[in-house]
Structure 1
Amino acid sequence: MKEHVHLVLVGTSLLRNFALEMPQKLRDKYRDVGILQWHNIPPGDERQKYIESITRGHEIFEGMLEYVNSKPKESCAELNAFYSFLDHRIAWKNVSEIYLYATDTASCMLCARVIYEHLRSEKSGLRPGVKVQEPIRVRHWGVGYFEEGLKSLMDLLAGMIKSKKEQGYRVFVNATAGFKPEAVFATIISALLKADGVYYIHEAHRNLVYMPLLPLTIERKYVRALRKLGYWIPKKAAEELLRIEGLSLMDLEDMGLLEEKDGKVKVRKWVKALLSRKVLA
């Protein structure tokens, strides 16, 4: 059987769960820096700077890692989905590589680093030789720059899925954690690039949901027009070019492929990322 590559979106559920079960000494010692709320603080919060300093060896990091090692599936959404997938698919021996994608915040990166240390340890139960890559901090993701963050995430996922599929791997996307809009787009990009499946833990019944991906693409007539438009073009020129192609500027804007600003028409960043990687033919 082909080996698997897993692309895992990371959120802060580990911090939320750890807050409920952390040792009392840590709870008391770090109460003043708001440790019980770290899973829910905004990107610009001053506490993010403090969290940035917490690395391997710090008692909070080690406490979180001990917690994850003691109950991996219960500790966070990412591992719950990952291990449930492996159990469900009987796929433990097929895992080859794991990539972790974190939002552009210190709190999320802390969770990603702890998960990384767990996965590369014997506690994970994975076979020796599985490559667990250093967590990837996705620029602008989750910090208020929605389209920029989406473009960064799409670009990273598109490049990785395309590359690994060309190398002959099966690629699965763990979309349980993180923000819902980004998870939706991660599913879309996975379908566009013919990843093998997306999985997550359902919010209501808490069971694994595995989604084989149906063929999905943007119609060729739209792709041809988008390539002709380039990335910036005056609105009137765009309208005329699209009219020649038998298309409407308003329709492409409604589809989320284009946006209008300052009298010019712009191809959206996530679409640009797909075009530049020749995902859309």
Structure 2
Amino acid sequence: MKEFHIINVGNSLLSNFQRNNPEISKIQQSDNDFWKKAIDDVNFMEEIFRFLESNPKERSAEMNTFLRVVEGKNPKEIEVYLSGTNTYSNEICVRTIQRYLRDKNFIVYDNPEFPGYFLEVNNYDEKYAKDEFVRGIAEMVDRFIYLALKKKEEGYEVFMNPTGGFKAHVIACALAGFLTGCKVYYMNEEFRNVIFMPELFYLPKGREVKLLEILSDRRPRSGAEYKSIADKFVNELERLRVYGLVDVETDDDGKPFRVKITARGILFLNTSKEVQR
């Protein structure tokens, strides 16, 4: 069976490269000006690539897990989707890993970049950076869910590798895997073996399922329709909101006024129908 791996890429490769090169060991990875120059430096990019190539498992946390999972398999049957942030330090890691995997005959897709805070906080302000970071996490989960479901429909076995990256992105990657029933694998730097996580997902029941079915046409309910739902499904609405199965919008005063089902809610309903067939 063909495999599709979504890999969350952090900066472990760059961190290890810095430790090995004292002249840049003190440079902060949030220093976008420095790393922008580095990424445009052909010699630098070649040097860090050779660094990775010489010992990929030891020098990249993401490759340490991925290469162990796919060991002995045909790389031409394995597709990889790398996910990074819009920071120059992370782009260095993504580009280098991408080149390495392609050299090894894996199929690698161009990756999206999600807000990584440092670029936004330098160019705008802290509030904007924070808001964009949060928005990016939500987009990441939805994007990963879409890809996982699409590839499953095409007959692939889908894996999530949340080993690298910001902790928030690690959580988002793992969550998308749990919600879609993918295999989620992880490896701490002190572990000897890759760990496959157990399936974790909240399963709605009873009136929660009924509410999801009401919203399954994807039409947002606001005004009197929202009030009717909120009055009739007080506890159910809150639980579904907490677990990300519905989205409740609030006005400028923080009062909820609209509800709609999320991609995760649709996923649950579709999965339930498949199980019942």
User: Does 1:243 find its partner at 2:243?
Assistant: no
- Distance in 1 (CA, whole Å) between partners of 2:158 and 2:19 is 34
- For residues 55-204 of structure 1, the aligned pairs below 5 Å read 55=39, 58-87=42-71, 90-92=72-74, 95-121=77-103, 126=104, 128=105, 130-138=106-114, 140-142=115-117, 144=130, 145-195=132-182, 197-202=183-188, 204=190
Unaligned runs of 5+ in 1: 42-46
Question: 1:120 aligns to what SS in structure 2?
Answer: helix
Output the aligned Cα RMSD: 3.1
Give the one of 253, 265, 279 matched to 2:267: 279
Letter in 2 for 1:136: P
CA shift for structure 1 position 131: 1.1
Partner of 1:17: 16
- 1:90-131 deviation digits (Å, cap 9, x = unpaired): 43557421110002222111110011111111xxxx4x4x31
TM-score by length of 1: 0.74
Change (3 A) 1:279 1:56: farther
8 Å contact from structure 1 (residues 113, 135) kept in 2? no
- Distance in 1 (CA, whole Å) between partners of 2:250 and 2:192 is 41
Letter in 2 for 1:107: S
- Distance in 2 (CA, whole Å) between partners of 1:267 and 1:17 is 46
CA shift for structure 1 position 241: 1.4
Question: 1:279 aligns to what SS in structure 2?
Answer: helix
8 Å contact from structure 1 (residues 10, 78) kept in 2? yes
Change (3 A) 1:174 1:255: closer
CA shift for structure 1 position 175: 0.8
TM-score by length of 2: 0.75
Q: How many residues align?
A: 250
- Distance in 2 (CA, whole Å) between partners of 1:231 and 1:76 is 44
Change (3 A) 1:206 1:177: farther
